[in-house]
Structure 1
Amino acid sequence: MDKKIIIRVPATSTGIGAGINSIGIAFGLYYTVIVEEEMDHWQVNHALGDDVPRDENNIIVQTILKVDPTIKPHQLTVMSDVPIGRGLGSSTTAIVAGIKIANALGNLDMSLDDEINAGSKIEGHADGVASALLGNITVSYFNGKMATTVKTDIPEVINALVYLVKDDGTHDKAIYKDEVSSVDAVKASSATNVLVASLMNNEWTKATEMMENDAIYTDNIYDIVPELEVIRNQAHQLGIYGTFLNQSQRSVITFGTSSQLNELRNALSDSNLTGIMRLIKVDHTGATVRGE
């Protein structure tokens, strides 16, 4: 390899509205991997904590070798502002980085569809992988073998207020109903259909209303994640819609303009919320590769 390869992958969130394992979005927090010299063994340099392997057991390396087992070991340096275990796709970013690295080092000439398929097979669903690779909001279907994805643009003025739920061990309960009645199934399906149609037709107001459809959540969802009710109610008082619970239940996310979200953040300052709030942009580009 004559020069370094730099991979940058955006954070993602999934489970928008009733779009479980199908609708994802990319955010402007990034996981960056620098591919350096070839070595006798894999070495992954990072400051992500001792729980993250620094050798061939790292998820990046495991992904590279799943895509192409013949790729020789290299030194990799990782820099990331994607929080680990907070519902923003930290593992997805590593998987996508691994696919991009395998494609570059192995000269595989993979298309974006090929990369989405590869990542979907590893993750078991396509939503996060598709959004990380393509940016913006994606809607995906995965049958276990092949993924089909459609990307749509979010208005440039729209950002997100992300509330990172404090990890106190109480947010691991099931948030979806074990059994969904036919009435709730129709509500969820209809809301998701309108959500997707609104996104595709750039009718953002309708889309944000549909994001708040809770037909498949358990009836006690606000008891499990009380922050969702607090943030949603405060947002509604300000005329802001589009607050949803991330599929991992680690983040509560609200869409809006910068001025709206700053107003919401200020209003929530007296709500005794114990987690962290971050105002972040939507990523419109997806994963990038430099230096090939």
Structure 2
Amino acid sequence: MKNWQIKVPASTANLGPGFDSVGLALDRYLTLTVSSHHLWEVRALSPSLEEFPNDETNFIVRTALETAKSYGAELPPCLVEVKSNIPLTRGLGSSAAAIVAGIELADAAGDIGISKRKKLELAAKYEGHADNVGASLYGGLVIACETDDGIELLNIEDLPISVVTVTPKEELKTEKAREVLPEEISFSKAVKAGAVSNVLIAALLKQDWEVAGRMMKGDLYHHPFRKQLLPHYEKVEQIAENNGAFGVALSGAGPTIACFVEEEKASWLYYKLHQALPDMLVQNLNIDDKGVTISTIAQNTAL
């Protein structure tokens, strides 16, 4: 059996009005080193991962085993060494990265040959939608929707922007963030919200950052309801807008806030946010245009 390294990027989703349909891959990673073993064992190489099971009940391994089973494949037991610098349960796609990692683990260890399109469908089924998992799989900016014929996804690379994220110590459960959303909105409001989302994507493609920022602020799908759960939102938004950010949005369901900025202005924005918010995790992140990568490693170099 070969040894592999599987590297999955973090992601931010929605970008304001692109609710459950827009994702952006970021350069923080969940990394697996996989080697042959006499039983399933997961070794956490990052303190944040030590709370999770270290056997086949681990979420990543369960995802791999279920994926393999759906193809009629049986996976040999593996030693899976896992490290991550993606903050957990903070709206930066940690669960989506774990899902993608599990599917890639199944494909590699079982020598199944799953197509990228099928990996997307599987991951979206596990996650519920394709924005975060699509970004982790394909990299760059992804826009996705699910139709009666399946998932449609397009990805765009080489956007010349950075994302400075602000993450509080307190987590915000996705369930709680979902609870504050209305069960339905009127037809006229839905049309307006969809138009805002459309213009956001057009502005990003044309690199009209000013318009993109206005569309982020003009979201009608979730910001009006979720911002009340985050007492730090307005402070972060004000500091960001005063120091070069063209747009600010919740990262996924929060509590992380993503501040979008042209690359040459990112260092200053990071400095000002870090200075003003010393009790929060501030990160200056780049876009990952590769998506998930898997490489074979020599057996004697496995960790």
- Same fold judged by TM-score > 0.5? yes
Amino acid aligned to 1:184: K
Shift of 1:167: 0.5
* Cα distance, 1:52 vs structure 2: 0.8
Do the aligned partners of 1:121 and 1:145 also contact (CA within 8 Å) in 2? Answer: no
- What are the superposed Cα offsets for residues 47-67 of structure 1, whole Å, 9 maximum, x if unpaired? 334421111111111111111
Identify the range of structure 1 (162-171 vs 205-214) with the bigger mean alpha-carbon deviation: 162-171
Distance 2:155 2:6 in 1: 21
Equivalent residue letter for 1:36: S
Which stretch of structure 1 is more off in the superposition, 205-214 or 163-172? 163-172
SS, match of residue 232 in structure 2: helix
Are residue 122 (structure 1) and residue 121 (structure 2) matched?
A: no
CA distance in 1, matches of 2:64, 2:149: 19
Q: CA deviation at 1:268?
A: 3.7
- The separation in 2 between residues aligned to 1:165 and 1:188, in whole angstroms, is 28
1:85 is aligned to 2:89: yes
Kindly report which structure 2 residues correspond to 1:98-109, keeping only aligned pairs within 5 A, or say none: 98-109=102-113
Q: Do the aligned partners of residues 87 and 38 (structure 1) sit closer, same or farther apart at CA in structure 2, a change above 3 Å counting? A: same
Equivalent residue number for residue 239 of structure 2? 234
Q: CA deviation at 1:91?
A: 1.5
Report the residue type matching 1:23 in the other structure: V
Percentage of identical aligned residues? 29
Q: Which amino acid in the other structure matches residue 66 of structure 1? A: E
Partner residue, 1:96: 100
Aligned residues: 289
TM-score of the pair, normalised by structure 2: 0.86
5+ residue gaps, structure 1, are none
**Residue 61 of structure 2 corresponds to which residue in structure 1?**
61
Structure 2 Cα separation of the partners of residues 202 and 268 of structure 1: 24
Deviation of 1:216 (Å): 2.3
1:263 equivalent to 2:268? Answer: yes
Following the alignment from structure 2 to structure 1, what is the Cα–Cα distance between the partners of residues 79 and 104? 15
- Cα distance between partner residues in 1 of 2:289 and 2:295: 17
Amino acid of the structure 2 residue aligned with 1:133 = L
RMSD: 2.5
Deviation of the 1:195 alpha carbon = 1.5
Residue 33 of structure 1: how far off its partner (Å): 0.4
Query: Which residue matches 2:9?
Result: 10
Assess if the C-alpha contact under 8 Å between 1:162 and 1:277 holds in 2: yes
Write the letter of the residue equivalent to 1:250: P
Is residue 41 of structure 2 the alignment partner of residue 43 of structure 1?
yes
Are 2:162 and 1:162 aligned?
A: no
Does 136-145 or 183-192 show the bigger shift? 136-145
SS for the counterpart of 2:259 is strand
Greater CA drift, 10-19 or 191-200? 191-200
Give the secondary-structure state (helix, strand or coil) at the position aligned to 2:88. Answer: coil
Distance (Å, rounded) in 1 between the aligned partners of 2:181 and 2:268: 31
